[in-house]
Amino acid sequence: MRHLKKTVKLGRTADHRKALLANQVCSLIEHSRIKTTLAKAKAVRPFAERMVTLGKRGSLHCRRTAIAYLHNPGMVKKLFEEIAPRSLSRQGGYTRIIKLGPRPSDAAPMALLEWVDAAPVAKADTVEVPTAKQKKADAAAETDKPAADIKTSAPASAKTSDEQRQAKGQKKPAVRSRKTTDKAKRAEDKAKKERAAAQPKPKSKLGPKGKGKSGGKKR
């Protein structure tokens, strides 16, 4: 039976678990609120409140004890000078846990751990999202607007080339259409065939198939 063994293991060894709790408390001191799983938040909560109790005492021994737990003198200084004095009139219950629901990836229950006397989070400015009717109305208004006349201007390089030809007295090269190019190709192919037919074929040294020069059968 597990009598007097209430330590939450969190699936970690003792050293790993102590380092995790110390890092979580340091993050809580630095940012005033942290988002983590519900199991970790419940494990960090008593540890963080014990650190606040040490900060309220304020002695050198308590400061050294907190440093031995957290291994971060900067966070211990902030705990003793800023967080602990705000909780002098409070007899415990320095933190709160707010459940946030399951995590999308693995459905682990998430929670927000924060100091009770922490400053409230400023709400972000709300952005109005257009509805489907508004989108349709905007699209109809855009289609009803007359289209602006778009003037297409020739590139400067084309203009300069035309002006140079006119100055030299040369004519603009005619652009061949697809039909004319096809006709030219057909004429070239026909001429090649006629030349090949006009050339005499070389006589073969062998006679009919299976026979020599004399035409007799091979022995």
User: Tens digit of pLDDT for each residue in 62-117?
Assistant: 999 999 999 999 999 999 999 999 989 999 899 999 999 999 999 999 999 999 98
User: What pLDDT is recorded for position 184?
Assistant: 83
Higher pLDDT, 41 or 200: 41
Place of tokens 């007097």: 4
Assess whether pLDDT exceeds 60 at residue 8.
Answer: yes
CATH 3.40.50.880 assigned to domain 14-115? The reply is no
Residue with tokens 């009598």: 3
Question: Closest by alpha carbon to 31, among 103, 100, 157, 121?
Answer: 121
Q: What b/e string do you get for 169-189 counting C-beta neighbours within 10 Å, with b at 16 or more?
A: eeeeeeeeeeeeeeeeeeeee
pTM over 0.95: no
- Among 26, 22, 21, 24, CA closest to 9: 21
Provide the pairing of β-strand 33-37 with 109-115. antiparallel
Domain ranges of the chain: 14-115
Q: How far is CA 43 from CA 35, 36, 163, 167, 189, in A?
A: 13, 11, 85, 91, 89
